[in-house]
Amino acid sequence: ATKMALRAGLRSKRGLTGVAVMRMQSPPVNSLNLELLTDICIALEKLEMDKSCRGLIITSNQPKVFSAGLDILEMYGKSPEHCGEFWKAVQEMWLKFYGSNLVTIAAINGSSPAGGCLMAMTCDYRIMADNPRYSIGLNETQLGIVAPFWFKDTLMNTVGHRTTEMALELGLLYSPAEALKIGMVDQLVPEDQVLTTATEAMTKWLAIPDHARQITKSMIRKPTIDKLMSNREDDVKNFVKFISKDSIQKSLGVYLEMLKKRKA
Ligand SMILES: CCCCC/C=C\C/C=C\C/C=C/C(=O)SCCNC(=O)CCNC(=O)[C@H](O)C(C)(C)COP(=O)(O)OP(=O)(O)OC[C@H]1O[C@@H](n2cnc3c(N)ncnc32)[C@H](O)[C@@H]1OP(=O)(O)O
């Protein structure tokens, strides 16, 4: 049986029509594997074509975690062919979200490292649960891997050049308060208010005529999107070459062990 990885539907409560809520529910931590990435892309594609849909809120159904980022098991001990397919799906998710015509809001109700942070940063607006136990950031270097240029560009477009240098080189994970301070998220609210606040924020964004907002968004994001679009195949090749190295595989193995030990 196929597992429903997310739910997307159009809501009409409280006068808010044309807004879909996508809830990632891939236990235990919504790590972005091929299946979840594909489901998310298909759902977004359908919403994008649905003329009655103007906005999307993405959130998590898993407790304490928005998304643990890319599923390390998709990159560890896998064939180069598999790694290539996986990376294409990661690219596709980023391209679809970063270039979406919809108003996209991330309701970050838990930790959101690496690919989870990337996904949130593709949205137009980010609301995070004000819980100091949660963290968000691009921590790739801590795993011994390198965030590719389009992860870096997304971060730089969000928080600026100097903060990106520090954040990426040190692989920093920020508390919600720190993330708000550097502009990685836009608003903090108590955990039980993340979704309602996202809905309120959506009302403000939907008050702007779609065509004006969409053209403006495209004008700002297109150069970053074009950069990946014109380098997609090389980016896949670079990823496969990099991730297949013995030293990188070893780092990933050590990191996975650390995750398991930390739990024990
Ligand atoms: C120069 C050329 C460059 C080319 C480009 C090359 C390379 C770039 C490649 C990739 C970029 C990578 C991006 C990524 O997203 S990598 C993923 C990074 N993610 C993390 O570091 C997060 C790790 N997880 C956590 O910190 C925690 O799990 C959590 C999210 C804070 C949640 O904590 P909690 O205590 O609630 O859960 P557990 O830690 O107990 O985890 C439960 C269970 O899940 C497993 N798990 C967690 N995260 C992942 C993951 N990302 N992938 C796979 N599995 C994961 C964890 O091991 C536990 O498993 P178990 O079997 O023990 O139950």
Residue 12, pLDDT above cutoff 80:
no
CATH no. for 6-263: 3.90.226.10
Mutation test residue for ligand 1: of 259, 262, 263, the one with most atoms within 8 Å of CB: 259
Closest CA to 136 of 196, 86, 186: 186
Lookup: tokens for 180: 């708000």
Residue 175, pLDDT above cutoff 90:
yes
Model pLDDT for residues 197-254, shown as the tens digit of each residue: 999 999 999 999 999 999 999 999 999 999 999 999 999 999 999 999 999 999 999 9
What residues does each domain of the chain span?
Answer: 6-263
175-178 contacts at long range (C-beta below 8 A, 24 or more positions apart): 175/132, 175/134, 175/135, 176/128, 176/129, 176/130, 176/131, 176/132, 176/134, 176/136, 177/130, 177/132
Mean pLDDT, residues 124-144 taken together: 97
- Residue with more model confidence, 257 or 14: 257
Q: What crossing angle do the helices spanning 34-49 and 80-98 adopt, rounded to 10°?
A: 30
- State the Cα–Cα distance between residues 128 and 44, nearest whole angstrom: 22
Triad 231, 234, 236: Cα angle to 5°: 105
Tokens 């896949």 — which residue? 236
51 in contact with ligand 1, CB cutoff 6 A: no
Task: Estimate to the nearest angstrom the gap between the alpha carbon of 262 and the chain centroid.
Answer: 24
Model pLDDT for residues 78-97, shown as the tens digit of each residue: 999 999 999 999 999 999 99
31 Cα to the center of ligand 1, angstroms: 7
- Of ligand 1's listed atoms, the one at least distance from the Cα of 70 is 15
Lookup: tokens for 191: 């955990």
